[in-house]
Amino acid sequence: MRIAIGIEYDGTAYNGWQRQRTGLGVQECLEQALGEVADEPVAVTCAGRTDTGVHATGQVAHFDTAAGRSVRGWLLGANTNLPEDICVTWVKPVDDDFHARFSATARRYRYRILNRLVRSALYRHRAWWVYQALDHRRMHDAAQALLGEHDFSAFRAAGCQASNAVREVTDISVVRDGDWVVLDVTANAFLQHMVRNIAGTLVAIGSGEEDVAWAERVLDGRDRTRAAMAAPPHGLTLVQVFYPDTFGIPVPFELGQ
């Protein structure tokens, strides 16, 4: 039987999603918790690996098991065995042709910036504090140059192992809500550090350090060294993974700020 699950986690304490030789990954905690419920080893495959310090409200994964448990049993049993900063939000039996990664049609990430003079005690692990005034309208206008299918080499990590850098961004926006500046990006797939590099470049534009057209010039240059520094990981959250309606995958419970 194949089971799909939704996962929410605070990535502060983890070396990213993936099981690690050294350090602790979210995957390891999840597999141990599900294994306790199944009374057998469980291997989990996720929709998109997140890096150290990155969070998720809408991560999706699947696993195969011979254990007969109810949806309620999987949900409550897994959460009983998980640390407080990881939670399974839903459980759904799926057909064997469902794959958390390869069946996904798009992913949505959100990057949060706290833009005020003083830092936050409560959001220090959940947002990038930028004290310089940011013009979110300039950031939004600059971001529109990234819409569509492009070679995003300028926004990939030096160690990115993707075979090519072509990705399609279907939606990108920057909005302000009081002291919060929020970047939302939806694409068919992402390169390593892609959203963080985009966020860093847009902040340079929002602060007036660079002009609005700079984002397009960086994109066209396909040279990572021409872009701004990567934004820190703790402002980034995977908020949704999209699938064909035929799979019946639930929409994440929480998409708000």
> Using N-to-C axis directions, what is the helix angle for 71-81 and 26-38, rounded to 10°?
130
Residue 198 burial by Cβ neighbours in a 10 Å radius (0-12, 13-18, 19+) = buried
Pair 205, 218: CB distance under 8 Å: no
DSSP 163-217: S--EEEEEEEEEEEETTEEEEEEEES---TTHHHHHHHHHHHHHTTSS-TTHHHH
Residue 224's nearest CA partner among 187, 182, 196 is 196
**Residues carrying an active site annotation:** 51
Structure tokens at 97: 């042709």
Pair 167, 150: CB distance under 8 Å: yes
Give the angle subtended at the CA of 24 by the CAs of 20 and 28, to the nearest 5°: 75
Chain-centroid distance, C-alpha 217: 26
Per-residue burial over 148-157, b = 16 or more CB atoms within 10 Å of its CB, e = otherwise: eebebbbbbb
The span from the CA of 150 to the CA of 220, in Å, is 9
